[in-house]
Amino acid sequence: MATITEPQTKTLLEVRDLKMHFPLKRGIIFQRTVGHVHAVDGVSFDIERGQTLGLVGESGSGKTTIGRTIIRLYQPTSGSILFENTDLANLEGDPLWRMRRRVQMIFQDPYASLNPRFTIGSLIAEPMHIYKLGSAKEIRDRTVELLRVVGLRPEYIDRYPHEFSGGQRQRIAVARALSINPEFIIADEPVSALDVSVRAQVLNLLQRLQRQFDLTYLFVSHDLSVVRHVADRIAVMYLGKIVELADRDELYRTPRHPYTKALLSAVPIPDPQIEKKRQRIILSGDLPSPINVPRGCRFHTRCPMAQDICRQEEPLFERKEGRLHYAACHFAEKVSPPAEVTEQ
């Protein structure tokens, strides 16, 4: 696939045809592989330095697997993950360890991601000790500074995670991720486990830190209203594939994939007049199994626009009209804009 960012911009991450298939094993003593879970099944996207790519899609579509594969918690089945021209997909040992310092991940559950037996000071300092980023005194000073940066009081440094609320814990997780000066952060549903009342605060914090430290984000969420708030571009995932990729506003105004349109129809709109007239597209059935992916277009079993060709031929993920707008649908041009756009 050709470049999917403007030629003059600086691309930090270039993912090409990435696949992560998990073997499905049977047998107790003599395990044999009886199939594969096609969790990520050939995805390509770019992220420009300093920008946020939002990754959306329903549960089980492969969002977390993409994040975990980029950070090399998994060895990808195939494809490339170019991080400033170094392919993370094939790195091992020392070079991988050094690259990992530049890429950090923030997880959904701030209760599970912080070890309850350590003080928050030692949790934030741990990555700095691992990478030997200064003397004990320098690391302690930087930990105090990081607490301030994420909006927590420095005197909390010797407290334990259970003494904090969910929102505060997520701030601690952010401070820990920032401690080794990463350039790229994968935030996997960072606010989904939080109370609605603190979500905006954590989102605002992430945006402020992005400007302050020139961070690049891959922001994973199943919530399109959250992604709209933070992302510059949005990738929509369905059953292991990206089915649409576009600038945020363009995606909301002129979706080119029926699945994106269905997801958008479920996002509440603050205007009660428009909300009343909107038609919600309810998709029939569940997400098919990623072990037996439907042939042709993998969305055809649930698509309200499906035709015969959809059951036979897989649509290419190709550029449609508009600014760097990509979609995988035989009938992309026939997808009508959402009602709230035509109303305006």
Ligand X SMILES: Nc1ncnc2c1ncn2[C@@H]1O[C@H](COP(=O)(O)OP(=O)(O)OP(=O)(O)O)[C@@H](O)[C@H]1O
Amino acid occupying residue 22 = F
Q: What is the rounded distance in angstroms from the CA atom of residue 194 to the CA atom of residue 315?
A: 38
Residue nearest to Mg ion (CB): 64
Q: Of ligand X, Mg ion, ligand SF4, none, which one sits near residue 118, judging by CB under 5 to 8 A according to partner kind?
A: none
Per-residue x/- track, 3-32, ligand X (CB under 6 A) = -------------------x----------
CB of 286 vs ligand X, minimal distance in Å: 11
264 contacts ligand SF4 (rule: CB under 6 A): no
Phi, psi (degrees; rounded to nearest 5) at 5: -130, 170
> Quick one: tokens of 47?
């992220």
Q: For ligand SF4, which residue of 310, 320, 325, 340 counts as binding (CB under 6 A)?
A: 310
Q: Of ligand SF4, Mg ion, ligand X, none, which one sits near residue 297, judging by CB under 5 to 8 A according to partner kind?
A: ligand SF4
Q: For ligand X, which residue of 37, 47, 128, 215 counts as binding (CB under 6 A)?
A: 37
Q: Of ligand X, ligand SF4, Mg ion, none, which one sits near residue 171, judging by CB under 5 to 8 A according to partner kind?
A: none
- HEC per residue, the chain: CCCCCCCCCCEEEEEEEEEEEEEEEECCCCCEEEEEEEEEEEEEEEEECCCEEEEECCCCCCHHHHHHHHCCCCCCCEEEEEECCEEHHHCCHHHHHHHHCCEEEECCCCCCCCCCCCCHHHHHHHHHHHCCCCCHHHHHHHHHHHHHHCCCCHHHHHCCHHHCCHHHHHHHHHHHHHCCCCCEEEEECCCCCCCHHHHHHHHHHHHHHHHHHCCEEEEECCCHHHHHHHCCEEEEEECCEEEEEEEHHHHHHCCCCHHHHHHHHCCCCCCHHHHHHCCCCCCCCCCCCCCCCCCCCCCCCCCCCCCHHHHHCCCCCEEECCCCEEECCCCHHHCCCCHHHHHC
Give the interface size with Mg ion as a residue count (CB under 5 A). 2
Q: Which is nearer to ligand SF4, 17 or 318 (CB)?
A: 318
Q: Of ligand SF4, Mg ion, ligand X, none, which one sits near residue 60, judging by CB under 5 to 8 A according to partner kind?
A: ligand X
Q: Which is nearer to ligand X, 258 or 290 (CB)?
A: 290
Per-residue x/- track, 30-69, Mg ion (CB under 5 A) = ---------------------------------xx-----
Q: Of Mg ion, ligand X, ligand SF4, none, which one sits near residue 65, judging by CB under 5 to 8 A according to partner kind?
A: ligand X
Give the interface size with ligand X as a residue count (CB under 6 A). 13
192 contacts ligand X (rule: CB under 6 A): no
CB of 27 vs Mg ion, minimal distance in Å: 29
Residues engaged in binding ligand SF4 (CB under 6 A): 257-258, 297, 299-300, 303, 305-306, 310, 315, 329-331
Residues engaged in binding Mg ion (CB under 5 A): 63-64
Residues engaged in binding ligand X (CB under 6 A): 22, 37, 39, 57, 59-65, 222, 290
